[in-house]
Structure 1
Amino acid sequence: MTDKDGASGHGPSLKTRLYAWWEGYDLSGMKAKKGDEPAPEPEQPQPAAPGPGMNRWGKPLWTATRIEVAEKMWGEGFNTPGGADHIPYLVKPLGLNPAMSVLDLAAGLGGTSRTMAGKYGCWVTGLEASELLAKEGMVRSFKLGLEKKAPVETFNPEHFGYPKRVDAIVYKEGLFFVRDKEQMFDGMELALKPRGHLLITDYIAEADVMGVKAVQGWCDKEPLTPNLWPKDRMANAFAQRNLDLRIAEDITDTHRGLILSAIQGLVEHLEKFQLDTPTKLAVMEEVELWARRVAAIEAGVRVYRFYAIKPAE
């Protein structure tokens, strides 16, 4: 069994090991002292609406260092849970094949796009709000000779429209950040061909969960303000656009497991290395971001996979 930090129950927890690594002392004879943890960051004023690729405090969401840390956690070309091994399970309902065109929203570094293009031969366009992530994603697609089959471009999820129609859309854990989800659903429905497939994985929360302390803490510290919908509202968004919702599956346990094993792997990797302070800071920020997400999940936030088909005209 794992404890909440993902440790095995023997010896120091992941969090203790992480702080030990941060302070640069040997864990073999160490007992965690109270006050080892850094003081909480002061509350920062929040502007109304950040532009694409910026966090709620007006700073870039991504830096080269953060990308390096994310790839160490999730695998090359990935910046969210579930690397190349996980994608086939996730996209199985789509029945991808070489004749299909796919839009990958919240594409990040393009790992999901390249996995789909490489494994199934389909043509995938990755769209990503962060200019830096999109640029780095394109570099990785070029390196693998997939710049035509899996390009990564920038887009603004708050004003979504796509000029071509596609056979499938994949939106992996990105919709929960979108303030105006209705326009996003409208845009996705318009971009799908008749009989097109829509697959969304996302964080959702019922009204009673939103007041829980761990969920509030997560929402307050998340780089972009989460806009979480309950499950019924998600289902209604499909129904209102005549999209036939075939799957609404709770994949929370899988998602949580992916996060905990990634944090564990990162901590084990870090214990072998001396890193400079900016990298250490980026590591701590990334681990704390995912630890808060795990805490929110354990307090009742769910992760769902929704799959729908657009009717024939």
Structure 2
Amino acid sequence: MSAQQGSKGAALPPATLPQATLKDRFVAWWEGYDLAAVLSRRPRADEEQGAGGAQGGSAKQSPQSATERRTLNRSGKPLWTATRVQVAEKIWGDGYATPGGNEHIPTLVKPLGLNPAMSVLDLAAGLGGSTRSMASQFGAWVTGLESNPVLAEAGMFRSHKAGMARQAPIQPFDPETFSWPKRVDAVFAKEGFYTVRNKDGLLDAVEAALKPRGHFLFTDYVLDKAKASGPIFKGWLDHEPVEPHPWTVDQYAQGLQQRNLDIRITEDLSDLHRSLILTAIQGLVTHLEQHSMDHETKIAVVEEVELWARRVAVLDAGIRLYRFYVLKPADIS
């Protein structure tokens, strides 16, 4: 019997079937079963609502503490586990939890003009791949700061293993209350600010940490207000693991200018970002066709793919990915 038919053979209106998520489609492809048949056995959306809310939706949670925001997702589960770290590195490469890699970082940070005499802060270090890349490829002394303690610990372990514990250490920090006791030559961050509520405080701290003529380069997801109203944007907003608080390009420009920072580059990298994601996911699919995994790892893979599929979709539906590069002026004596 067709999945679109009821028990007496009458066709059900298509709208009555629950909507398939990317996770549904991915698992169906992976396991080789009939997705429509599974969906036909699920409660419809109106039945789910009547039972107390849509299943799998973003139910409202009680406000999280600062520590919980850095360690738990919006459903109260750990943001990062050993299994998710393993999956992330399989997708993005050793030492990376986000798109890019050792081939991408040197091009991204080229405006910084890194050299062995420079000190650098990496404010979104993740597993430390970018931190170690800047240190190993340019000789700079780079301190990686990571908001999630699980990633920070895993990143420091990888720096120790690479013999770079002094030149590229990874430490936990809270971006909402960030300050740095020493001045540095450069600050770098890769998609690390869009979940920070206190961006004004963060920019103040970055400006204070920079030496005169210091460099500040970061990429971030920025809000495109003209498109930020449809279901794709809302789906992204509701399902990001950490609640997003994106600024617009103009808000960043004003914030940087208010701190007397000279903006040299404001560049839309959305197309490149999308390409990096899709290429990596295709590589993962090829890997999965040749290897088997335990159930826990499969679930982690599906959740990670679903997360990045939403991020790809929203790049044309309310969010863009921008690179900003600014200089701090010299002291006036």
| TM-score normalised by structure 1 residue count | 0.89
- Give the corresponding residue for 2:61: 46
CA distance in 1, matches of 2:63, 2:258: 29
- Give the corresponding residue for 1:34: 36
- Give the corresponding residue for 1:126: 144
Aligned residue runs from structure 1 range 1-313, under 5 A: 18-22=26-30, 24-25=31-32, 33-34=35-36, 41-50=56-65, 51=67, 52-313=70-331
CA distance in 1, matches of 2:141, 2:109: 14
After superposition, give the CA deviation of every residue in 1:85-121 in whole Å (9 maximum; x if it has no partner).
0001100000000000000011000000000000000
1:193/1:310 contact within 8 Å kept:
yes
SS in 2 for 1:293: helix
CA distance in 1, matches of 2:267, 2:27: 36
CA distance in 2, matches of 1:234, 1:257: 25
CA distance in 1, matches of 2:329, 2:135: 25
CA RMSD of aligned residues (A): 1.9
CA distance in 1, matches of 2:75, 2:257: 36
CA distance in 2, matches of 1:278, 1:71: 16
1:19/1:36 contact within 8 Å kept:
no
Structure 1, unpaired ranges of 5+: 1-13
1:196/1:309 contact within 8 Å kept:
yes
CA distance in 1, matches of 2:321, 2:58: 28
Amino acid of the residue matched to residue 88 of structure 2? A
SS in 2 for 1:162: coil
Percent identity between the two aligned chains: 55
| Segment drifting more, 36-45 vs 222-231 | 36-45
| TM-score normalised by structure 2 residue count | 0.84
Structure 2, unpaired ranges of 5+: 1-21, 43-54
Residue 270 of structure 1: how far off its partner (Å): 1.1
- Judging changes above 3 Å, is the alpha-carbon distance between structure 1 residues 231 and 136 closer, same or farther for their aligned structure 2 residues? same
Residue 141 of structure 1: how far off its partner (Å): 0.6
CA distance in 2, matches of 1:200, 1:160: 16
2:24/2:35 contact within 8 Å kept:
no
